[in-house]
Amino acid sequence: MTNLAEDPTASATTNAEGGGGGGALRCPPPAVVLVEPQLGENIGAAARAMANFGLADLRLVAPRDGWPSEKARAAASRADHVVDGARVFATTAEAVADLRFVYATTARTRGLPKVVVGPREAAATLRARAAAGQGTGILFGRERWGLMNEEIALADEIVTFPVEPAFASLNIAQAVLLMSYEWMASGLEAGALPTRGAVPAFDATPAPKAQLVGLMEHLEQALDEAAYFRSEDKRPAMVANLRAILQRAGFTEPEVKVLRGVVAALERRHEKRRRASGNE
């Protein structure tokens, strides 16, 4: 085994705790284990996907073209902390030796007696295990034929993606991206976005009826001046329809104020035109 980082686990933990997602993201993320990856570009793209969602512990099992890889660094698009912290192992068993719970990603269970779950359920399980102090990881197979039976046997459960059965094969980086996304999403509170924090709740409290009636009367007055009610005998029905529309919308106080401002702007424009016509 060749160790290319002094303490990548500490790096992964620091990254998880220091990210913008807040307290919900504080348990250590799973290790990402790429088994015999062939292309440096795929490794780099996987590292980028990990960094996007707060993962940093990248483990490589016998990469075909060796390590380190400048092609991987270029494809990682500045996810240098993931690339620099990557560790290389001779076998899959060595790569997962320190972990207590591992998922294998595969579209084919091959008759193995293992629980099969989707990525969302897997992410929730990984987070619960990590919160309990258990090291976790996810195995990703080779570009061409995925994981072998003996490698899947090292995993506790299988995770498979809800993809089109006739075209179920995913690129390694795509698979890493999907699992990394589900990992981060599983730790977010409803409506929270790490790059923005919690999304403020919209206050949908309806405006007081007095304000709504004021809007109705203001609009009706403006429409009178614009000669909207062309037929006096139909005016009551038209007014009733307008009031029903405004009532049904359930406008809030700020929305009523905005609409009053719109009506006032139209009134001023109408007044300017009327003055211009009078001056002529």
pLDDT at 112: 78
pLDDT at 54: 93
In 3D space, the residue among 88, 151, 53 whose CA is nearest the CA of residue 138 turns out to be 151
The answer to whether the CB of 186 falls within 8 A of the CB of 120 is yes
Element (H, E) at 247: helix 235-249
Give the confidence band of 270 by pLDDT, cuts at 50, 70, 90.
confident
Q: Could you report the per-residue pLDDT of 46-65, keeping only the tens digit for each? A: 999 999 999 999 999 999 99
pLDDT at 23: 40
Give the CATH architecture of domain 8-198.
3-Layer(aba) Sandwich (3.40)
pLDDT at 165 over 70: yes
pLDDT at 124 over 70: yes
pLDDT at 176: 97
pLDDT at 123 over 70: yes
- DSSP track, 89-104: ESSHHHHTTT-SEEEE
Both tokens of 270, joined, read 């109408």
Query: How far apart are alpha carbons 25 and 17 in whole angstroms?
Result: 7
Q: Could you report the per-residue pLDDT of 66-98, keeping only the tens digit for each? A: 999 999 999 999 999 999 999 999 999 999 999
The answer to whether the CB of 94 falls within 8 A of the CB of 62 is no
Residue 22 CB: number of other CB atoms within 10 A?
14
Q: What is the pTM of this model?
A: 0.65
pLDDT at 26: 72
Quickly tell me which residue has 């030796």 as its tokens.
Answer: 97
pLDDT at 228: 87
Give the confidence band of 234 by pLDDT, cuts at 50, 70, 90.
confident
| 35 contact partners, CB below 8 Å, separation of at least 6 | 61, 62, 92, 95, 139, 140, 141, 142, 147, 151
pLDDT at 41 over 80: yes
Q: Where are the alpha helices (DSSP H) in 19-163?
A: 40-52, 70-75, 80-84, 92-95, 119-131, 149-152
Sign of CA dihedral 86, 91, 95, 101: positive
pLDDT at 224: 86
Q: Could you tell me which residue, 20 or 47, shows the higher pLDDT?
A: 47
pLDDT at 192: 59
pLDDT at 9: 35
Would you give the distance in Å from CA 256 to the centre of its chain? 34
* Inter-helix orientation angle 235-249/209-225, to 10°: 140
Average pLDDT value over all residues in the chain: 85
pLDDT at 198 over 60: no
Helix (H, G, I), strand (E, B) or coil at 193: strand
Both tokens of 102, joined, read 């591992």
